[in-house]
Amino acid sequence: MIPILYGDEALNFKPIHDEANESEIENRVKEIIASVRKDKDQALKNWAKKLNDKVTDNWLLGLESIDAACMRLPQESKDVLEIAANRIQKYASAVMSLIKPVTVDNETFQTGMDFKPVQRVACYVPSGRYPLPSTALMTAMTARVAGVKEICICTPSVCDEIIYAATLCGVSEIYQIGGAQAAAAVAFGTESVKRADMLVGPGNAYVTEAKRQLQGQIGIDMLAGPSEIAIIADCGAKPKWLALDLLSQAEHDPGARAYLFTDNKDIAEATAKEITANLDTLDLPDFVRDSVKYNAILVLPSLSKCVDKANELAPEHLQLQVKDPESLKSGLLNYGALFMGYYATVPHGDYMSGPNHTLPTGGAARYSGALNPLVFLRAQSWMKSSDKADHLGRETAQFARLEGLTAHAAAAECRIGN
């Protein structure tokens, strides 16, 4: 049964973090990264054996296998993947249309900024408990729209849907490797895995920790861990819909977290009953019955307090199951993606609406946002000076001497009058 919290207990609610488990994961990931960096493909084989993953002499899926998978996939599956791909492309292209080079004319000198994509990106696509072709589309298509030339996919277990999704994004390199070892492989390169400039995409706790440890060695998008949802609901929300929305995220992973914030006690209690009922009727993983106990329904004094709690939690997904979502939107500061109104649900965004489902978790929405084309762009500034910019040299030398940097001053002064 999902806990219902009232009064001060609801106001003071904080998510529980398993620090002991985090330490264990950190140490194991450090070991994996060090071994892959040193022994490359041999380390990948060793870890595959230890973890009962597929062992191969070449982690790259052959083109014949890719073509065969695309031939096998039913047309109905292809159609839905293509609809999703087109919407993701349309959304990402709209974002890219806003990005233009900048030039500032200062008469005697000019400055500016160009935006260039990284050259090679690795997209991590989870496929352990569930294969996620949606993540292949969300990551690879967004990189493609941003102008990335080389895109590869790493996935623990390939399936026809992931392969076809990759081809829709123009990806031909699919590596059958997952976990922290996949992150290390694309960060350093191995005999059969080409090094990448950037690694994007969600993963389990080991993948997320690997991205954290490898940041700086390879660019990353964000630390996207287990799924999260928070819902703000008023008296007009439907308890059955709320229960299904919460369970739709809880079924992702044992570490997924689902929270309902409401100012209505009846809605809270009815939703809790619906969750229990649906645990018996839906074909859910066994872990959901246990993990739902770590989620919560909070009955708060007002919708304003629900907004405060959402800002404090900074959830990955935030649903507004209220009559007038626009009235709450301006007060909401921290979330990865917002779903507004009774008819909007997170699964729309997970698959078909267009905005990216690769989102910050664990409170990271306080300082980061959704995966988008800008993540793949490097802002590169430039300046061009002329022989008429003596004032710039004098100003630069003056400032350099404020900091005691005499060579800086001399480099600027030698150009004055010459």
pLDDT tens readout for residues 212-267: 999 999 999 998 878 999 999 999 999 999 999 999 999 988 889 999 999 999 99
* Exposure string for 272-300, b = 16+ CB within 10 A, e = fewer: bebbeebbeeeebeeebeebbebbbbbbb
Select the more confidently predicted residue: 417 or 85: 85
The number of residues in the chain equals 418
Model confidence band, residue 54 (pLDDT cutoffs 50, 70, 90):
confident
Whole-number pLDDT of residue 224: 83
Alpha-carbon distance of 306 to 266, in angstroms, equals 16
Whole-number pLDDT of residue 18: 60
Q: Is the pTM of this model over 0.85?
A: yes
Whole-number pLDDT of residue 16: 74
Cα–Cα nearest to 227, from 206, 201, 200, 258: 258
Instruction: State the helix-helix crossing angle for 179-188 and 41-50, rounded to 10 degrees.
Output: 180
Residues above pLDDT 90, as percent of the chain: 88
Whole-number pLDDT of residue 254: 87
Cα–Cα nearest to 358, from 125, 170, 115: 125
Alpha-carbon distance of 82 to 68, in angstroms, equals 18
SS3 182: helix
Summary mean pLDDT of the chain: 95
From-to residues of CATH 3.40.50.1980 in the chain: 4-16+226-366, 40-107+117-221
Is residue 172 scored above 90 in pLDDT? Answer: no
CA 194 vs CA 40, 54, 190: distances in Å: 11, 19, 7
* Type of residue numbered 54: K
Q: pLDDT (tens digit, 9 = 90+) per residue, 301-347?
A: 999 999 999 999 999 999 999 999 999 999 999 999 999 999 999 99
Q: What is the architecture, at CATH level 2, of domain 40-107+117-221?
A: 3-Layer(aba) Sandwich (3.40)
Select the more confidently predicted residue: 36 or 362: 36
Asked if residue 162 lies in contact with residue 156, where contact means CB atoms within 8 angstroms, the answer is no
Alpha-carbon distance of 269 to 260, in angstroms, equals 11
Model confidence band, residue 20 (pLDDT cutoffs 50, 70, 90):
low
36-45 contacts at long range (C-beta below 8 A, 24 or more positions apart): 36/181, 36/184, 36/185, 36/188, 36/190, 37/184, 37/188, 40/185, 40/188, 40/189, 40/190, 40/191, 41/190, 41/191, 41/192, 41/193, 43/181, 43/190, 44/177, 44/181, 44/185, 44/190, 44/193
Whole-number pLDDT of residue 230: 98
Asked if residue 393 lies in contact with residue 413, where contact means CB atoms within 8 angstroms, the answer is yes
Report CA dihedral (43, 44, 49, 55) to the nearest 10 degrees. Answer: -140
Model confidence band, residue 55 (pLDDT cutoffs 50, 70, 90):
confident
Q: pLDDT (tens digit, 9 = 90+) per residue, 111-162?
A: 999 999 999 999 999 987 778 999 999 999 999 999 999 999 999 999 999 9
Model confidence band, residue 58 (pLDDT cutoffs 50, 70, 90):
confident
Catalytic residue numbers read: 316-317
Q: How many CB atoms lie within 10 A of CB 100?
A: 10
DSSP letter string, 307-324: HHHHHHH--SEEEEESS-
Model confidence band, residue 375 (pLDDT cutoffs 50, 70, 90):
very high
Is residue 19 scored above 70 in pLDDT? Answer: no
Mean pLDDT of 173-196: 97
Is residue 17 scored above 70 in pLDDT? Answer: no
Residues above pLDDT 70, as percent of the chain: 99
Tell which CATH classification among 3.40.50.2300, 3.40.50.1980, 3.30.450.20, 3.30.930.10 matches the domain 4-16+226-366: 3.40.50.1980
Sheet of 317-321, strand order: 4-5, 296-299, 257-262, 228-233, 317-321, 337-340
Asked if residue 141 lies in contact with residue 200, where contact means CB atoms within 8 angstroms, the answer is no
SS3 234: coil
Is residue 293 scored above 80 in pLDDT? Answer: yes
Task: Give first-to-last CA distance, the chain, whole Å.
Answer: 80
